[in-house]
Amino acid sequence: MTDPVAPQAATNTLPPPSVNGSAPSPQPDRAAPRRRRMSTRISGVRITLIAGIAVLIVVLIFIIQNSHSVSITFFSVHLHLSLAVALLLAAIAGALVMAAAGTARITELRHIMRRDRRKSTTR
């Protein structure tokens, strides 16, 4: 498949002559670089707080809409909780298990790095 736009041959790179006889205005070769907005710790905290408030609003709506009670049995312990609270507790328990596994892996990697660093300095 061919490209409908044919490549243009190289032409004179000088600016076109002015119509009224004055010198042509210089044109920049490249577009001016865009200034990047600096992020600070405070702006990061602000964005995190806004996201946290949004999540809390969603959780509040979830709890209000799922307020009917359910019976839960866990290791012969019987509880009557709202469905939303039971689901939130399950999600929190899952997050804690995941955090514990991640912490164990990070600790293992740090131990391996220290061991490798000691081996390389003793040689």
Q: What is the pLDDT of residues 5-64, one digit of tens each?
A: 555 555 555 555 555 655 555 565 566 666 666 778 788 888 989 998 998 898 888 888
CA 117/CA 111 separation, integer angstroms = 10
Q: How many domains does the chain have?
A: 1
Section 61-81 average pLDDT: 85
pLDDT digits (tens, 9 = 90+) for 77-112: 888 888 888 888 888 899 999 999 999 999 999 999
Q: Is residue 20 part of a domain?
A: no
Residue 19 in any domain: the answer is no
* pLDDT at residue number 7: 54
Dist. CA 75–CA 78, nearest whole Å: 8
Q: Is 101 a member of any domain?
A: yes
Q: Given this model, what pLDDT does residue 72 score?
A: 85
91's tokens: 């999600």
Residue 111 inside a domain? The answer is yes
